[in-house]
Structure 1
Amino acid sequence: MKAILEKVPQRIGSSWRLKKIREHKKAFSWHYHNKEFELLIHRNFRSHCHIGHFQGQLSENSMILIAPNVPHAIDAIPDNNIDNYETFVLWFKQDWIANMMFSCQELRKIESLLKRAEKGLLFSHQTAEYVAEIIESVDESDFDPINLLAKFILIVEVLCQDKESKTLLSYNRDQQGNDQTNREKIERLCAFIDQNYHQPLTLEDAANCICTSESSIHRLFEQHFNESFTQYLKKLRLNHAAENLVSTADPISHIAEQVGYRNQANFNRQFKQYKGMTPREYRQHYKLDAKV
């Protein structure tokens, strides 16, 4: 079975991404990431774990670090006593962490950890519980960049200290066999949207960009982004708006127009729905040059 390239949702201004997932059903999804490491904690359920050629059962509260281009999937073992399957997922980019290690000698001990992750790295339950506690303390609506980075470094330190961690694969096979054409299409599509998100983009525009049909674009987003084209574009615009709110003194109406909104009331409504506060409240809370 061919693994699907899954794109990681990015947050403007963040070098890593954390997501707490609670779902009624844990769907099987055989996928890989071509740029990001993925740290997974399966909090309250046992699972069938598939990483590369490894297949096995994992108990609840299992934590695994997976390198880029390693296909993987988690299939929850059904349990009538579980209403919501809870998973913590943390992603960080390979080039970003490499630059961090190059610039900061203190972080170079991470290198062996990342190398072992190419074979799927399973941590002890004690370490998984400690990391889960750190993640639980992170408010998903908060966006204090320095505090979030400090949390990430603390998590990495905890991972490095685990003497009981073990690799799951007997050998590593790089995910070069995946559909290269599809990967190139996705990269072109992302670049096109990043360059034109402030314009009134449509599904047809995206389809024309990579010379395909609108229905193909729809399937591409559902498969590789786990959301629709419209949702992806909205989040990108609002994240750019959030960045401009804290890094500039531009009027909110101007910022809304800069990111592609022609109606400020619509912008305000969607921003509050996504960020949990109005643009004005967000600026007051996170303004980089706020008085101290």
Structure 2
Amino acid sequence: MKATVQKIPQRHGWSWRYKIFEEVVKSEDWHTHQEFELVLHRNFQGKSRIAHFEGLIEHNDLLLLSPGTAHSFESINSHEQTLCEAHVIWFSKEWITKLIYSSVELRPLASIIRDANKGLKFSTQTAEKVYQHLNNFDDLTPIGQLAVLIKILGELCADQSRTSLLSYASSAEKKKSDNDFGKIDQVCNYIDNHYSSEITLKKLADYMYVSENTVHRWFIQHFNESYISYLTKLRLNHASQLLLTTLQPISIIAENVGYTNRSNFNRSFKKYKGMSPSLYRKQFK
């Protein structure tokens, strides 16, 4: 079965991404993406499938997977009283490579990044330390959160009992997904370059030489949302940055991110951010 290529949405102003998934039942989702994934599973038992490896997930299961490694996780028994937790950190190869190169203190991390292509599993003790570092994570500033990530990477380096899951680095699945990566990158680059203008689903489909239904299916498969939802979030995230980093009038910012109607912009922004653009600027600038 071919893995679905997932596009991990990056927040503007951030170099990496952290997200918590809490589910009553975790269903299997065979997928791959272009980022490293550090995933911590808690409070459930399940099955993991990573390239040609299959194994069990126990409480405090901590794994590091390299870009292009197909994987899925599935709960095999759970209770509604205790939700399945997955704490996931994604970061790009380019970013972590530059970080290691420019920081001598992080050089021990190089071997871990290299060995992640075989799938690394860390001790439950390290997993618990990582979880403790993530407590109150959302209350921290972006710099504070980055400092926590550095501490977590330090915990990975200190773990001398880490093991590899794969007997060899799996490249076959990665090669099969290269075309998908290129296709998704092409879509994202087009939207990034044209989000301020009117880019309908038909225009994007014509650019990619496919049908509108095909583009719609790509977004559901690879982005886990519709094209309109993706475009709206992109525009509003750019608007958020402009509100905080410029003195441009809100009407001009709305036009710059593709809204021709100020009322529609205000309504969409409030729905997405929970407050009006003017209040967002006043509260966070």
Q: TM-score, normalised by structure 1?
A: 0.90
Equivalence for 1:290: none
Please say if residues 37 and 92 of structure 1, whose CA atoms lie closer than 8 Å, have aligned partners that are also in contact.
Answer: yes
Please say if residues 144 and 286 of structure 1, whose CA atoms lie closer than 8 Å, have aligned partners that are also in contact.
Answer: no
After superposition, residues 109-120 of structure 1 pair within 5 angstroms as: 109-120=108-119
* Distance in 2 between residues matched to 1:60 and 1:281, nearest whole Å: 42
Equivalence for 2:157: 160
Question: Which secondary structure does the structure 2 equivalent of 1:178 belong to?
Answer: helix
How far off is 1:242 after superposition?
1.4
Please say if residues 45 and 61 of structure 1, whose CA atoms lie closer than 8 Å, have aligned partners that are also in contact.
Answer: no
How far off is 1:197 after superposition?
0.8
* Distance in 1 between residues matched to 2:132 and 2:261, nearest whole Å: 42
Question: Which secondary structure does the structure 2 equivalent of 1:77 belong to?
Answer: strand
Please say if residues 25 and 78 of structure 2, whose CA atoms lie closer than 8 Å, have aligned partners that are also in contact.
Answer: no
In structure 2, the gaps of 5 or more residues are: none
Equivalence for 1:58: 57
More divergent stretch after superposition (170-179 vs 48-57):
170-179
The 1:100–1:179 alpha-carbon spacing in structure 2 relative to 1, beyond 3 Å, is closer
Equivalence for 2:230: 232
* Distance in 2 between residues matched to 1:170 and 1:285, nearest whole Å: 52
Equivalence for 1:261: 259
How far off is 1:15 after superposition?
0.2
Equivalence for 1:14: 14
Identity %: 44
* Distance in 2 between residues matched to 1:151 and 1:271, nearest whole Å: 30
Equivalence for 1:246: 244
Equivalence for 2:129: 130
How far off is 1:179 after superposition?
4.3
Q: How many residues align?
A: 284
Deviations 1:68-122 (A, max 9, x none): 1111111111324456322111100110111111122222221011112111111
In structure 1, the gaps of 5 or more residues are: 288-292
* Distance in 1 between residues matched to 2:93 and 2:36, nearest whole Å: 6
Please say if residues 218 and 228 of structure 1, whose CA atoms lie closer than 8 Å, have aligned partners that are also in contact.
Answer: yes
Amino acid at match of 1:191: N
Deviations 1:209-265 (A, max 9, x none): 211011111111111111111111111111111111221111222112211122333
Aligned-residue Cα RMSD (Å) equals 1.8
Please say if residues 123 and 159 of structure 2, whose CA atoms lie closer than 8 Å, have aligned partners that are also in contact.
Answer: yes
* Distance in 2 between residues matched to 1:32 and 1:87, nearest whole Å: 16
Alignment pair present for 1:98 and 2:97: yes
Please say if residues 218 and 229 of structure 1, whose CA atoms lie closer than 8 Å, have aligned partners that are also in contact.
Answer: yes
Q: TM-score, normalised by structure 2?
A: 0.93
Please say if residues 78 and 84 of structure 2, whose CA atoms lie closer than 8 Å, have aligned partners that are also in contact.
Answer: no
